[in-house]
Amino acid sequence: MSGKKITISDIAKALGISKTTVSRAISGKGRIGPGTKDKVMDYVEKNNYKPNMTAKALANYKYTGDHSTHNLAVVWPDDYSAMEIPFFQKLIVGISEIAANYGYDVMLTMAADDNITGLKRIIENHKVDGAILTRTLVNDTPAVYLKERGVPFVVVGSTDYQDILSVDNDNLDACIELVEYLLGKGLKRMALIGGSRNHIITRTRFRAFREAHEKLGLKVDDGLVYLDIDNPTKLDDALQDILSKKVDGIVCMDDGFVGEVLSKCSEAGIRIPEDIKLASFYDSTFLENTIPPVTALRFNDRNLGAVTASSLIRAIEGETVSSQMLKNHEIMLRKSTE
């Protein structure tokens, strides 16, 4: 290839490896097998490869001010509750494992729906090369900010915003499958309990609840849908109302609602599953050990974190990356719906 200036893409194509692998071999950052590194460096030497330092400097300046930090920001919602902790724990494990494999470290920061002070401080002080948002919002202030700043980022979850890289579990199909199973058992009056409507996941799960009914020619009773349940008082009021309406099933959008449902039913002398069947759109070890154990959807959240981190790092290192919808759920059938 003498007489022609070669690029990382040329090297990757000639050696049959990815551009990310070539980049790591040349920069010395990130994990790569010694044999592969030797092969890349031998090719570089023989073909007189010289990196485009001007383009590299401009790219680095855009994201980190003057140099690559090899740090990733993980933005954690500061309004999370106990019900969500298992999800975020598994997610951060998956993110951290992949980040370490690529030679990146993880910085954790908190953000509310519209308060992103911590995120701004990290970005404006050029402490990271990219960011992962662990929750998607209808009015997504963190995503809008990162997009305007030109910072590479990936969101965990679905989003209505255009041109945003996302990785999500296929919650819609999974929730439809669970509701269809419940309806197939003859349930006619199911109540639904969920959190904030500003969270995309809440809207996705509600959509699934409706679509499952429609597929079977049934209609959701809007009087049995309880959303924006974000504190114990609202949950207590919702459950009192639900139990007064003679429902035959309760679906909780998150596992954290389940404990209170079981407690209220026990106090009222309502038996599960004999009188009311109970299920959750999200599983945790807690639901395996309740009395009775509760039917729920199980996702591989560790893998979700791993795929998200890999997507972000590949984007940072110049690869073309597409959004992904992961189909990795299973219904854990337990006594609460027998």
Q: Is 1 within the bounds of a domain? A: no
Q: What are the tens digits of pLDDT across the range 4-18? A: 677 777 888 889 888
Pair (224, 151) in one structural domain: no
- List Cα–Cα distances, 76 to 136, 249, 284, 290, in angstroms: 11, 33, 19, 28
Q: Is 99 within the bounds of a domain? A: yes
Which residue reads 């383009």 in tokens?
A: 55
Q: What is the pLDDT of residue 53?
A: 45
Instruction: Please give the residue range of the domain that contains residue 194.
Output: 171-298+332-337
Q: What are the tens digits of pLDDT across the range 91-134? A: 999 999 999 988 899 999 988 767 889 899 999 988 999 999 99
Q: How many C-beta atoms lie closer than 10 Å to residue 245's C-beta?
A: 11
Q: What is the pLDDT of residue 41?
A: 86
pLDDT (mean) for 258-271: 94
The partner residues of 132 in beta bridges, in order of sequence, read 74, 154
Asked if the bond preceding 273 is cis, omega within 30° of 0, the reply is yes
Lowest mean pLDDT among 187-191, 228-232, 248-252, 260-264: 228-232
Pair (194, 268) in one structural domain: yes
Q: What are the tens digits of pLDDT across the range 176-233? A: 999 999 999 999 999 999 999 999 999 999 999 999 999 999 999 999 999 999 888 9
Percent of the chain with pLDDT over 70: 90
Q: Residue 330: CA atoms inside 13 Å, Cβ hemisphere, count?
A: 5
Q: Is 15 within the bounds of a domain? A: yes
- Rounded distance between C-alpha atoms, residue 319 and residue 285, angstroms: 37
Q: Confidence band (pLDDT; 50, 70, 90) for 2?
A: very low
Pair (131, 85) in one structural domain: yes
Domain count for the chain:
3
pLDDT at residue 244 tops 50: yes
Pair (183, 288) in one structural domain: yes
Q: What are the tens digits of pLDDT across the range 53-96? A: 434 444 444 554 445 788 999 998 876 554 457 888 899 999 99
Q: What is the pLDDT of residue 1?
A: 45
* 296-313 residues labelled b (16+ CB within 10 A) or e (exposed): bbbbbbbbbbbbbbbbbb
Q: Is 27 within the bounds of a domain? A: yes
CATH number at residue 33: 1.10.260.40
Q: What is the pLDDT of residue 92?
A: 92
Which residue reads 């299973």 in tokens?
A: 330
Pair (28, 139) in one structural domain: no
Q: Is 65 within the bounds of a domain? A: no
Q: Could you say which DSSP state residue 137 is in? A: B
Pair (164, 305) in one structural domain: yes
The mean of the pLDDT values for the chain is: 87
Pair (198, 293) in one structural domain: yes
Q: What is the pLDDT of residue 306?
A: 95
Pair (84, 97) in one structural domain: yes
CATH number at residue 307: 3.40.50.2300
Percent of the chain with pLDDT over 90: 59
Q: What is the pLDDT of residue 267?
A: 93
Q: What is the pLDDT of residue 120?
A: 92
- Structural Rg of the chain based on CA atoms: 24
Pair (212, 162) in one structural domain: no
pLDDT at residue 287 tops 60: yes
Q: Is 117 within the bounds of a domain? A: yes
| Pair of tokens at residue 99 | 């980040």
Q: What is the pLDDT of residue 65?
A: 45
pLDDT at residue 28 tops 90: no
Asked if residue 301 lies in contact with residue 93, where contact means CB atoms within 8 angstroms, the answer is: no
Structure pTM?
0.76
Q: What are phi and psi of 50, to 5 degrees?
A: -130, 120
pLDDT (mean) for 238-252: 95
Q: 77, 72, 80: which is closest to 96 by C-alpha?
A: 72
Pair (31, 78) in one structural domain: no
